[in-house]
């Protein structure tokens, strides 16, 4: 996936072909306006107002308690972004907006969008400092309670649109009783697997700030007796030998160094019962320079600023599992999250 400059007229196509388009302007100036427009529209629940029946500038402004003149400007920008469609004085949502930005949609990522102001955007302001010093922000060690709350809600929203595919494509060992979810945030994936397997119990290992947010949410879902949170640092936590049938490490490796990841995989392997499965879910970095993907490269840089590591290749992940003694490794590329793969390997029976 990539964002790019797309011509909308013959003259613009000619300008692009002749190299006369100021690409840095669009990537710097327009991209910032685009991101802020979508974030504020989501924060003001403009899309929910339209979905609920408000369809004119005046009615949408009234529903969101905004200035009508300002709302007209915002709606025009959203029309330019192909988020809304205007017919005369009436506005409607484009089909691809509803599944993702309505607060009650099952696949909504609204909470993630709302977390950007407090979390991701403020973290990435430290890019220049990182470039000069090479030292990451290590943001997880400095989050306030409010940041933990918004960060966890955002991560839960992102988990929602891949959970069904994970549960469908990862076949747990027959008779699986215990799952370990390392860095499992609020426990969304643990609950998804427990719903599929009524006999399964799950343990989520997370930092204390995440645990304090996760426990009440798990209880609210009715899974307090089957999904427990344990406050611990995945980089150092000791795991009891041969206790789990399935270990999931999801979107944690990009926060750890190669040595820390290899050590975590080794500890997770010891914690698996013979025949158990380890699954590592990550955004994958392509290995060949000619195949560098825009989004993957940007996320790699973002993770380096935030926690000092970055994205890994399939071959690098495979090396960690092989060194730990796991067999039959394979990468499953997710259809619901382009660029993300789940690398699975099994602990030998003997």
Are 292 and 180 contained in the same domain? Answer: yes
Q: Of the ranges 148-157, 194-203, 222-231, which one carries the lowest mean pLDDT score?
A: 148-157
Per-residue pLDDT, averaged over 62-91, amounts to 97
**pLDDT score of 160 more than 70:** yes
In sequence order, which residues have a C-beta less than 8 Å from that of residue 239 and are 6 or more positions away? 180, 267, 268, 270, 271
Are 193 and 312 contained in the same domain? Answer: yes
Q: Of the ranges 49-58, 202-211, 333-342, which one carries the lowest mean pLDDT score?
A: 333-342
Confidence category of residue 270, pLDDT binned at 50, 70, 90: very high
Measured in degrees and rounded to the nearest 5, phi and psi for residue 304 equal -65, -40
pTM of the model: 0.85
Among the candidates 51, 66, 100, a domain finishes at: 100
Q: What percent of the chain has pLDDT over 70?
A: 98
Q: Tell me what pLDDT residue 344 has.
A: 97
- Whole-number average pLDDT of the chain: 92
> Residue 45: which of 113, 94, 107 has the closest Cα?
113
Q: Tell me what pLDDT residue 295 has.
A: 76
Within-domain flag for 107:
no
**pLDDT score of 229 more than 90:** yes
Confidence category of residue 288, pLDDT binned at 50, 70, 90: low
Within-domain flag for 20:
yes
Are 128 and 66 contained in the same domain? Answer: no
| CATH number of the domain residue 329 falls in | 3.40.50.150
Domain range for 157: 122-346
Identify the residue whose tokens are 């320079």: 289
Are 298 and 151 contained in the same domain? Answer: yes
Among the candidates 49, 70, 100, a domain finishes at: 100
| CATH number of the domain residue 94 falls in | 1.10.10.10
Per-residue pLDDT, averaged over 133-138, amounts to 92
Distance CA 187, CA 205 (A): 9
Are 76 and 168 contained in the same domain? Answer: no
**pLDDT score of 40 more than 90:** yes
Query: Which residues of the chain form beta strands (DSSP E)?
Result: 84-87, 90-93, 178-182, 201-206, 227-231, 244-250, 272-283, 327-333, 340-346
Within-domain flag for 4:
no
* Count of domains observed in the chain: 2
**pLDDT score of 290 more than 60:** no
Within-domain flag for 38:
yes
Within-domain flag for 117:
no
Among the candidates 70, 100, 130, a domain finishes at: 100
């Amino acid at each position: 996936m990539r964002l790019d400059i797309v011509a909308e007229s013959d003259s613009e196509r000619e300008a692009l072909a002749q190299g006369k388009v100021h690409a840095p302007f669009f990537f710097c100036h327009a991209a910032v306006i685009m991101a802020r427009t979508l974030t504020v529209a989501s924060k003001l629940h403009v899309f929910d107002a339209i979905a609920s029946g408000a369809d004119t500038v005046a009615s949408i402004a009234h529903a969101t308690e905004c200035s009508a003149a300002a709302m007209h400007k915002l709606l025009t920008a959203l029309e330019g972004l192909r988020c809304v469609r205007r017919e005369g004085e009436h506005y409607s949502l484009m089909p691809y907006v509803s599944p993702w930005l309505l607060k009650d949609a099952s696949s909504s990522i609204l909470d993630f969008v709302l977390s950007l102001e407090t979390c991701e955007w403020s973290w990435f302001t430290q890019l220049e400092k990182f470039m000069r010093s090479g030292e990451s922000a290590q943001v997880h060690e400095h989050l306030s309670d409010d940041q933990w709350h918004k960060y966890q809600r955002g991560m839960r929203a992102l988990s929602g649109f891949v959970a069904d595919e994970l549960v469908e494509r990862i076949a747990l060992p027959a008779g699986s009783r215990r799952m370990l979810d390392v860095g499992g945030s609020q426990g969304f994936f643990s609950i998804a697997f427990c719903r599929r397997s009524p006999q399964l119990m799950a343990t989520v290992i997370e930092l204390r700030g995440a645990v304090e947010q996760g426990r009440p949410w798990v209880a609210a879902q009715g899974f307090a007796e089957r999904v427990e949170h344990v406050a611990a640092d995945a980089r150092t936590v000791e795991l009891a030998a041969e206790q789990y049938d399935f270990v999931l490490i999801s979107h944690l490796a990009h926060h750890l160094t190669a040595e820390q990841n290899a050590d975590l995989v080794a500890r997770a392997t010891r914690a698996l019962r013979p025949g158990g499965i380890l699954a590592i879910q990550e955004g994958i970095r392509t290995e060949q320079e000619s195949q560098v993907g825009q989004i993957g490269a940007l996320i790699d840089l973002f993770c380096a600023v935030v926690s000092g590591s970055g994205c890994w290749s399939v071959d690098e992940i495979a090396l960690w599992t092989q060194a730990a003694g796991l067999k039959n490794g394979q990468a499953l590329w997710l259809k619901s999250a382009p660029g993300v793969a789940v690398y699975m390997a099994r602990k030998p029976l003997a």
